[in-house]
Amino acid sequence: MSNLDPVVQIGDWYYQVIYGQLWPASAPTDSEQMIRLEPRLHSLLNFFLLNPNKLLAKDTLIEKVWPVEEGTDAAVMRAVGALRKVLGDDVRSPSYIATVSKKGYCWLADIKAANLQQSKVQHSAAEDNLASAHQDDNAQSQRWPWRFIVATAVSVAVVCASLAYVLAKFTANPMVKLPDTISPISALSGQEYWPALSPEQTHVVYQHKPPQGAALNWSVQSLADLRVEHSVEQYTELSQPLWLDTQHIIFRGRDNEGQCYFFLQQLLPQANEPAVLWSCQQVLPQALQRWQQQWLWLDLAADNSTMQLWSAAISGEKTLLATMPFSYRKVEHMLLRDDSLYLLAQQTQNNSVLIKMLLPDGKVEQIADFPLQLEQLSWWDKSQLLLASRQQALQIYDLRSGNMQGLGPLTRELTQAVRHSDQVLATQFLDYTTDILQLGAISKSAELIPWHVSNRSERLIAVSEQQTAFVSERAGHSQIWLADGANSSQLTRLTEQQQVQQLLWHNNDLLVLINSQLYQLLLNSTALSVYPQQAEKPGRYASCANRLYWTELTGQGWALFVENGTDKTLLQRGVVDVRCAPQQQLVLQFAVDTRLQVLTTTGSLKTLPVAIDWRQLNGEQWFVDDTGIYWLNTAEQIINRYDWQSEQVHQLPWTQQNWPVAIYSNGAGLGYIVRPRPHDTDIIWLQNRR
């Protein structure tokens, strides 16, 4: 991370360092002229700015900017040339980057903090004109009757009081000034997660995963001199840490032998070996809280059938306080306020709910429903929550009114955020980008071919015999695009609050699930219209033999439906996912059984030798086509395939560098993957410039 100001001026440009965005200095508020650098140019420019007026050899740039084994002299020359083109630099008479023959490059332009204050010239002129007008009116206003003046003052007072009451009751309190500055804390290679500020606010502890490592460790960083101390890398999973006192943390982790425990570890003034406190089933990222003299935590029963609430004192045995049927996809986040627990649950693959549990009796009440996936929560103040969701800005949610207030686009890549006084400690994803890649012939080593790759994230693909649609952020936030050979066209103008959750073709129409509502997208007009059939809480849609099927969470639990004219017909209870199978059959995934089953045309069920847990793999991580069933085995880094003909399971070893996050059929087997590029995460302060 750099010590540069968040926004700097370099020559004729303003440059936002964290996000790699450039604006002409002559038009700093014109978003249409903003240029967002692709990740490699972003990293290259940042490195130049950190080392101005220094001769930088190509080998130095390769080592500092390019991943291991990816950098070459030719790659450096291409990137420098591309950066010059963006900046409008002349290689023969450079203002930004000079080439030193056979030695390297040197950054020339001055770097200074940007002054984005609006010019006051026009504003002052307007004030002068307004003042002149007021002087002309003053003579007339002095002749107004005193009764009219009093009545006007009273009316204004009433209106202001009413407005103040409405704002206090129905909006976030206090009204939040949007943050405008991200200040880095960590400066490590690799990834850092789940920061926790020490009680004395002198240190931050966070998880750290080195660039080439598979194990996690705790790192403690001093806020005074930014010095970092690392503990031993000995965990495959870690939860959020909580400070017990000024020296010790408590956390949940899975060790290198695969065992789940709660640990107590001293970190200050120096780190000691962790001590085991209690055993656990799963490493839930944010499900431990202190209540009175006890520690409370959530865990799943060994058979995943019930959610359990446990308690224990530091030196005592654990006690089971309460259980509840586990019908949710995931419950991984928990907060405590007074004698109430607030649980954030993924109810389906598309929506989240907020649950309130009273202590000590364990009475449960659902208090909020969100039509999208939320990933984390923390307290903003006593009655408001700070929420993090995928691909959206941080949100403040008011428990009293149900209102939401966004913290602005600067927070879009932030998560694991916790407020401390007038600033927020958070994890920032740097240059996180996913690409859609097409697979060539599958052999021992499948060839990956770039497919409509940009410098922004692509995901969610829907393939038909005639055309292919996908979701991309190349125009800003997520939009739906249509592929046309090597070209693509944008179909939608969605807002940042509209989360695209599924794409599918149905009778030559493109259906889109947005914020848990199904739409029909007309390709000729790019208009979105609400689809006639709607699920209250949808799971997954599938178009099979020109009929639309879907799973839905109803008041009686999960169920499979089929569209029947203007109505719907219930086909099967307990189904969370549905896919098309050969011979007009359906593949069903059940909530209480990981084994897939085939629903035949006669209505009978046949169990397959395929186990996919809907709580572990999402709907984009497995598919069914005429050749078989394909799914990701993340633990073993293998893509499994069940063959319809041989009725056997085969393994496709993954030899590429980065593990895919989604897989899709091309109609005849594995055709596309979504894979993240190498990226870092860092720990940051989110604040307002003072």
Q: What is the pLDDT of residue 74?
A: 82
Instruction: From 222, 229, 223, select the one nearest 208 (Cα to Cα).
Output: 229
CA distances from residue 154 to 56, 130, 146, 307 in whole angstroms, order as listed: 70, 25, 12, 58
Q: What is the pLDDT of residue 31?
A: 56
Which H/E stretch holds residue 434?
Answer: strand 434-439
Instruction: Give CA angle at 508 (503, 509), nearest 5°.
Output: 50
CATH number assigned to the domain covering 431-531+659-679: 2.120.10.60
Which H/E stretch holds residue 151?
Answer: helix 146-170
Q: What is the pLDDT of residue 130?
A: 35
Q: What is the pLDDT of residue 125?
A: 38
Contacts for 121 with CB less than 8 Å, ≥ 6 apart? none
pLDDT along the chain (690 residues), means of 10: 73 84 77 75 90 91 78 86 90 90 90 64 38 42 49 54 44 57 84 96 94 88 88 93 97 94 96 96 96 93 86 94 87 94 95 94 90 94 93 91 89 93 91 88 68 89 93 89 90 90 94 96 85 94 97 94 94 97 97 94 96 94 97 90 95 84 94 91 82
Q: What is the pLDDT of residue 143?
A: 44
Q: What is the CA radius of gyration of the chain?
A: 28
Dist. CA 577–CA 53, nearest whole Å? 59
Contact 240, 269 (CB under 8 A): no
CATH architecture for the domain at 7-113: Orthogonal Bundle (1.10)
Burial group, residue 183, by CB count within 10 angstroms (0-12, 13-18, 19+): middle
φ, ψ dihedrals at 425, nearest 5°: -95, 130
Q: Which residue has the tokens 């208009």?
A: 527
Q: What digits encode the pLDDT tens for the residues 344-368?
A: 999 999 999 999 999 988 888 999 9
Q: What is the pLDDT of residue 105?
A: 93
Q: What six digits make up the tokens of 235?
A: 């965990």
Q: Which sequence spans correspond to the domains of the chain?
A: 7-113, 187-283, 287-371, 431-531+659-679
